[in-house]
Amino acid sequence: METYQQIELDTNPVIFLTCGHFFCMDTVDGLMQMRDVYEYDREDNIISQKPQENWIKDIKQSQTRCPSCRGTLTDILRYNRVAKGVMIEVLTQKFLLTAHREFLSLEQRLSDTEKELNNGRKSLEADVGKLYGPDPTQAAATAGSTNPITSVINRRHGRLMELSKAATRYITSVTREEQPYVRIHALVADCIRRKRITDSTYTVDDTSVVLRNRLLGQALFLRATWARLYDLLSIHELKALKDRPGEKKRVAKSMLKSIEKLKAGCKQMEQDAAAAHQPRQQVEAKLYHARFVSIELKFPAAPPPPPPTPEVPNDEAPLVPQIQNSETLVEALARIRADRGRRAREAQEYQEQLQNYHVQLRNYQEQLQNYEAIISDKREAELQSLREALTICRQYVGSTSGLKPQVKEAKNMVRGSVFFSPVTNAEMQAVYDAMRAELRGTGHWYYCVNRHPVSNFLE
């Protein structure tokens, strides 16, 4: 071991920290793992930076402090990149912890609401039957000025609507722009702009941005939406509404009004999950898209109407022309000629209408075939998407635990055989219970090759 008298200060100077302790540069460089952070030349001079994703996961926060008193090293420019990088990593961990806990709280509330709705379905038939019972005045008094079935829907879906809004707020709070690294980048970029530095190449390192929480929030929103749609479907199938087509149409309209927007959201979520290497959310996006399409297939748009049949001219003229009373022969002949001319024109118009009818009939038959083909193609596209989802489930068994049975149920929904209750099954509940044990501390975290964080709870 060298003494300070033996150290060549020109090549290995002594660094005095703010706390008063001092060490050789080689010692602090080794503590900060500088050779993992920078590229060196043969003379041990720093020549370039290495990507942050290659080293940030291996450096602990304790390494960026004084070995003697744990004082900060952030005021030494040589180690600023390492110290600030680890600081941002700690901020990101705290951000993810907060987001994770909020998600689990929302998920628990949604699970309780789903169970409550499922239990309430046992008495739903009787409750709606009372509204449309033999005494209409009683129904009016119960429902007030609001439509009776609308009052039932509002009462049952109040908590679901609140959870959907809470999930939307959660998604906004965990977007890329709200994460610590991106917010710091925005501040630095604004400083560069105000100082008019035109040659700056400062860019965001996307490896420090975690998208999983936003995908979890989107899946939670879709889950709450599906719970509401399934309950509307249950109300639509009630026997109490069997002879009330107006009410059934009102419920069906409530189900279909936002389907297109929901399907577009599923497709975007599927693309984002694939890009972020999140197979579970990718399967969930396909799953909910298929469920929404199954609602569309159950309530398809009306087929094109057939063309109207042309009316046959009504010719009530006698076979033998007759002279009417007080009519001269000349007047009778003029009237007969006029009637024959009118009937000839009507016959010609009827023939033209009949020709147009046959043309319209052929177009209608083609439209009807296209209509049936569109429905068939839509069903087959969803079945193919669900087959791809099953392939992902087989490829990532651990990540997609609990989803495979739901995908199989969705295939039956798309085929139109049966709809399944959205209550969380035991396997899915085990997944959420495992998530409650994740990310429990802000100590050293581990990262997989796709930069997905895992805390040290397994140690």
pLDDT digits (tens, 9 = 90+) for 245-263: 888 888 888 888 889 999 9
The answer to whether residue 324 is domain-embedded is no
On whether both 158 and 67 belong to a single domain, the answer is no
On whether both 146 and 64 belong to a single domain, the answer is no
The answer to whether residue 284 is domain-embedded is no
Say whether pLDDT at 91 is over 80.
yes
- Domain C-terminal end among 73, 105, 133: 73
The percent of residues above 70 in pLDDT, for the chain, comes to 76
The answer to whether residue 359 is domain-embedded is no
Instruction: Average the pLDDT over 200-228 and give the result.
Output: 82
The answer to whether residue 375 is domain-embedded is no
Say whether pLDDT at 319 is over 70.
no
* Domain carrying residue 47: 4-73
Instruction: Average the pLDDT over 272-280 and give the result.
Output: 91
User: What is the pLDDT, as a whole number, of residue 454?
Assistant: 56
On whether both 26 and 149 belong to a single domain, the answer is no
For residues 179 and 172, what is the distance between their CA atoms, to the nearest angstrom?
11
- Domain C-terminal end among 16, 39, 73: 73
On whether both 110 and 178 belong to a single domain, the answer is yes
On whether both 127 and 52 belong to a single domain, the answer is no
User: What is the pLDDT, as a whole number, of residue 457?
Assistant: 39
Say whether pLDDT at 158 is over 50.
yes
Residue count of the chain, please give it: 459
For residues 24 and 31, what is the distance between their CA atoms, to the nearest angstrom?
11
User: What is the pLDDT, as a whole number, of residue 456?
Assistant: 46
**This prediction's pTM:** 0.73
On whether both 109 and 166 belong to a single domain, the answer is yes
- Domain C-terminal end among 40, 73, 106: 73
User: What is the pLDDT, as a whole number, of residue 239?
Assistant: 85
The answer to whether residue 125 is domain-embedded is yes
Q: How many domains does the chain have?
A: 2
On whether both 34 and 157 belong to a single domain, the answer is no
On whether both 239 and 174 belong to a single domain, the answer is yes
On whether both 228 and 99 belong to a single domain, the answer is yes
On whether both 108 and 217 belong to a single domain, the answer is yes
On whether both 36 and 176 belong to a single domain, the answer is no
The answer to whether residue 317 is domain-embedded is no
The answer to whether residue 306 is domain-embedded is no
Say whether pLDDT at 142 is over 50.
no
Q: Could you report the per-residue pLDDT of 431-450, keeping only the tens digit for each?
A: 666 666 565 554 445 556 55
User: What is the pLDDT, as a whole number, of residue 141?
Assistant: 44
On whether both 64 and 104 belong to a single domain, the answer is no
Instruction: Average the pLDDT over 291-306 and give the result.
Output: 80
The answer to whether residue 99 is domain-embedded is yes
Beta bridge partners of 14: 24
Instruction: Average the pLDDT over 375-393 and give the result.
Output: 92
